[in-house]
Every structure is written in C-alpha cells, then in structure tokens.
Amino acid sequence: MTVLEYERRFQDLAAFASTYLPTDRHRVERFRDGLRQELRMILIVMQFQSVRELVRAAQGMERVIRDTPKPVVEQSQAIEAKMRDFEFLTERPPLPKKGSAGNHQDSSREEVGVLIST
C-alpha cells in the first residue's frame, strides 16, 4: 500500500475515532506507527505538526526508496547476510582435537545422551 492509499484509509477511519485521536499530535503518532517499517524507521526521529506534513515527508521517502537502484539494495542485503554468517561462524563450538577424528560420531552421540538425560 502506498503512502497516499494509506492516508486515504487513515482519514476515513480517523473520522470514527475522534475520542482515540483527540489532537493532531495523536493523529501524527498513530499515522506514523501505521507506516511500513522502512518508512517508519526513517520518519520516527522527525517531529511533525500535522498528518499532512508527515504524509509529504513519507511520500518523499517512498519515492527515494522506489527510485533507489536495485543493486544498492541488494548490496546492503548481501552485507547484512555476510554479517549474520560471520556472527554465526564466530559462535560455533571448537573443532574436535586431531586424535579424535574416528571417535567423533560416537562422542557426539554420548554428548546428546548426556544433554537429554539431564
């Protein structure tokens, strides 16, 4: 859903929720909280006096996100995946000692038995 579509839906519903949204500040917060996460994370640090101001800013950010070339987005996703892989790999248990290569399966079964029985 685009920001414009969301604004229309929000205004339709806000007409029935005047007791829950008594001030512009409440409406701005509620509108912002309903935005897509990628927009909300950017706009949450900004202060807006009206929903209209927030809508203009959100539409601008929506345009920037839409017009950002895909390779840049894919690169950032690839970097995030590498960071997750690095964190996963650095938290793995140590490798078995050199002399225990043949007993590796048996020792892992024993460890599982110990974990289950406790």
When divided into structural domains, the chain yields a total of 1
| Residue 13: inside a domain | yes
pLDDT at res. 94: 61
Q: How far is CA 49 from CA 27, 43, 69, 88, in A?
A: 10, 13, 32, 44
Residue 40 maps to a domain = yes
Q: Is the pTM of this model over 0.85?
A: no
28 within domain boundaries:
yes
SS (H, E, C) 43-96: HCCCCCCCHHHHHHHHHHHHHHHHHCCHHHHHHHHHHHHHHHHHHHHHCCCCCC
Residue 51: its pLDDT value, please? 94
Q: Is residue 34 part of a domain?
A: yes
Q: What is the pLDDT along the chain (118 residues), one digit of tens a residue?
A: 899 999 999 999 988 988 888 899 999 999 999 999 989 998 988 999 999 999 999 999 999 988 887 665 566 777 777 777 666 666 656 667 776 555 555 555 555 555 555 5
Within-domain flag for 101: no
Residue span of the structural domain in which 53 resides: 3-67
| Distance between first and last Cα of the chain | 51
d(CA 10, CA 16): 10
The amino acid at residue 82 is K
Within-domain flag for 41: yes
C-alpha distances in angstroms, 89 versus 20, 82, 93, 99?
48, 10, 9, 23
Is there a domain that residue 109 lies in? no
The sign one gets for the Cα dihedral 9, 14, 20, 21 is positive
Inter-residue contact 76 to 35 (CB < 8 Å): no
pLDDT at 100 (0 to 100): 57
